[in-house]
Amino acid sequence: EVQLVESGGGLVQPGGSLRLSCAASGFTFSSYEMNWVRQAPGKGLEWVSYISSSGSTIYYADSVKGRFTISRDNAKNSLYLQMNSLRAEDTAVYYCARDALRSDYWGQGTLVTVSS
Partner 1 sequence: DIQMTQSPSSVSASVGDRVTITCRASQGISSWLAWYQQKPGKAPKLLIYAASSLQSGVPSRFSSSGSGTDFTLTISSLQPEDFATYYCQQANSFPYTFGQGTKLEIK
Binding site for partner 1 (CB under 8 A): 35, 37, 44-47, 50, 59-62, 95, 97, 100-104, 106-109
Closest separation in Å from C-beta 116 to partner 1: 27
Closest CA to 24 of 58, 74, 62: 74
* Element containing residue 26 per DSSP (H, E): none
Give whichever of 23 and 61 is closer to partner 1, judged by the CB atom.
Answer: 61
CA distances from 48 to 59, 70, 78 (A): 8, 9, 17
Shortest distance, position 75 Cβ to partner 1, whole Å = 26
CB of 78 to partner 1, least distance (A): 18
For 96-106, give one letter per residue: b (16+ CB within 10 A) or e.
Answer: bbbebeebebe
Q: Pick between residue 61 and residue 116 the one whose CB is nearest to partner 1.
A: 61
Q: Which is nearer to partner 1, 80 or 95 (CB)?
A: 95
The type of residue at 75 is: A
Nearer to partner 1, 73 or 99 (CB): 99
